[in-house]
């Protein structure tokens, strides 16, 4: 098995808080990581790039295959506008520090952060793309509300809403001139049974000018796992790849470059690989087995088709599995096409 390139493995080193209300108090996020080294490790220090970001972290020693966290708390008060802050993590196993990033946009709701600025005929909405965030394939459907307003001088009737089967849309039947109502979306990820980033389109068929109003709906589907007890953690399945940062080197355009990665269940219960998703149609993957018994290894074949591509390439492959501590893992690929 090849040497592990990232002994301290983070599922993601960047987190976007999105829109943060200045008067809403601190926002927090936990960066979780897994010790992929063959010995225990310790987090020695976490240094924030500014005083508005307060870090915390796992202080005890993390055993091999164990997990820990870096907690970040951001105070938006008095900091309107876009922010991008870093945390520098020092460990006792890597010479180079690890850099984590948080970003977002601080808004003041009192000064118009909640205005319905997007115009669709005489209807106004905050955005013509609705982001639901994380949804779970093994939990009940979620419902979210979005404000919608008739900014015209005549009433508007919403005849129907066209949406995919996993989305049910409830709307006000009629909005009088100047009236505001709520658009309700019921999103059932269990029915859809897909993983990863999902983009959908809904259409409101109305009596307004430009009668069809198209709205994009975005969600990130994952599997939900409850918090494990210390005993359950020792028995849980653990997915480890032998390499999380692949380099396919310099290859000629028009050729196909092939790499392989070993995926092992290092835990004590069977593990299922739910889905493997490349972020580019130029990358295809195949795994020789999806159910791994404790200690068992699967081989993932990765093929990069270089047709029509040139220069530096950076791609990624996301693996969804039943590893309860790290159910979403990402393998990166880089290289140069001549």
* Domain carrying residue 279: 235-337
pLDDT of amino acid 272: 97
Tokens of 288: 């020789």
152 and 92 in a common domain: no
Q: What pTM did the predictor assign? A: 0.65
Q: What is the tens place of the pLDDT at every residue in 164-199?
A: 999 999 999 999 999 999 999 999 999 998 998 899
- Mean residue pLDDT of the chain comes to 89
Paired with 69 in beta bridges are 32
Say whether both 12 and 103 belong to one domain.
yes
Query: Is residue 227 included in any domain, yes or no?
Result: no
Provide the 3-class DSSP secondary structure of residue 111.
Answer: helix
Averaged over 242-250, what is the pLDDT? 91
Q: What angle do CA 222, 224, 227 make, to 5 degrees?
A: 140
Cα 11–Cα 17–Cα 125 angle in degrees, nearest 5 = 130
* Residue 1 belongs to some domain of the structure: no
Sign of CA dihedral 186, 188, 191, 197: positive
Are 149 and 174 in a shared domain?
yes
Mapping DSSP to helix (H, G, I), strand (E, B) and coil, where does residue 299 land?
A: strand
Cα 149 from Cα 245, distance rounded (Å): 48
What pLDDT is stored for residue 5 in this prediction? Answer: 59
CATH number of the structural domain spanning residue 71? 2.60.40.10
Average pLDDT rounded to a whole number, residues 270-275: 96
Can you give 180-244 as a three-state secondary structure string?
EEEEEEEECHHHHCCCEEEEEEEEEEECCCCCEEEEEEEEEEECCCCCCCHHHHHHCCCEEECCC
User: 150 in helix, strand or coil?
Assistant: strand
Q: Which DSSP symbol is given to 4?
A: P
Question: Is there a single domain that holds both residue 107 and residue 201?
Answer: no
Average pLDDT over every residue of 281-302: 96
Q: Which two tokens stand for residue 291?
A: 């159910």
Q: Which residue, of 196, 222, 248, is where some domain finishes?
A: 222
303 and 328 both lie in a single domain: yes
Strand, helix or coil at 265?
A: strand
How many residues in the chain? Answer: 338
pLDDT per residue as tens digits for the range 303-323: 999 999 999 988 889 999 999
Q: Tokens 């009629």 correspond to what residue? A: 174
Q: How many domains does the chain have?
A: 3
Rounded CA-CA distance 240/323 in Å is 9
pLDDT in tens, 37-48: 888 999 998 888
């Amino acid at each position: 098995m090849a040497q592990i390139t990232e002994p301290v493995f983070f599922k993601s080193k960047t987190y976007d808080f999105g829109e943060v209300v200045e008067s809403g108090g601190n926002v927090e996020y936990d960066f979780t990581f897994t010790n992929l080294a063959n010995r225990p490790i310790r987090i020695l220090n976490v240094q924030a790039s500014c005083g508005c970001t307060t870090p915390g972290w796992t202080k005890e020693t993390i055993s091999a295959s164990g997990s820990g966290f870096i907690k970040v708390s951001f105070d938006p008060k008095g900091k309107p506008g876009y922010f991008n802050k870093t945390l520098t993590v020092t460990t006792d196993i890597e010479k180079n520090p690890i850099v984590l990033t948080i970003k977002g946009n601080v808004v003041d709701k009192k000064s118009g952060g909640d205005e319905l600025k997007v115009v669709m005929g005489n209807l106004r909405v905050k955005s013509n793309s609705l982001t639901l965030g994380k949804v779970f394939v093994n939990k009940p459907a979620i419902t979210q509300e979005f404000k919608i307003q008739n900014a015209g001088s005549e009433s508007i009737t919403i005849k129907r809403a066209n949406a995919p089967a996993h989305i049910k849309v409830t709307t006000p039947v009629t909005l009088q001139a100047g009236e505001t109502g709520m658009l309700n979306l019921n999103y059932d990820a269990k029915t859809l049974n897909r993983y990863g980033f999902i983009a959908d389109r809904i259409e409101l068929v109305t009596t307004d000018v430009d009668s069809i109003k198209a709205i994009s709906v975005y969600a990130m589907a994952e599997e939900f796992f409850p918090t494990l007890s210390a005993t359950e953690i020792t028995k849980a399945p653990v997915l480890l790849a032998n390499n999380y940062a692949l380099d396919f080197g310099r290859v000629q355009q028009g050729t196909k470059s092939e790499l392989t990665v070993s995926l092992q269940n290092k835990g004590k219960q069977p593990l299922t690989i739910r889905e493997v998703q490349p972020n580019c149609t130029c990358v295809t993957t195949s795994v020789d087995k999806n159910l791994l018994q404790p200690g068992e290894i699967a081989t993932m074949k990765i093929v990069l088709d270089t047709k029509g591509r040139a220069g530096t390439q950076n791609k990624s492959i996301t693996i969804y599995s039943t590893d309860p501590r790290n159910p979403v893992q990402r393998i990166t690929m880089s290289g140069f096409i001549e």
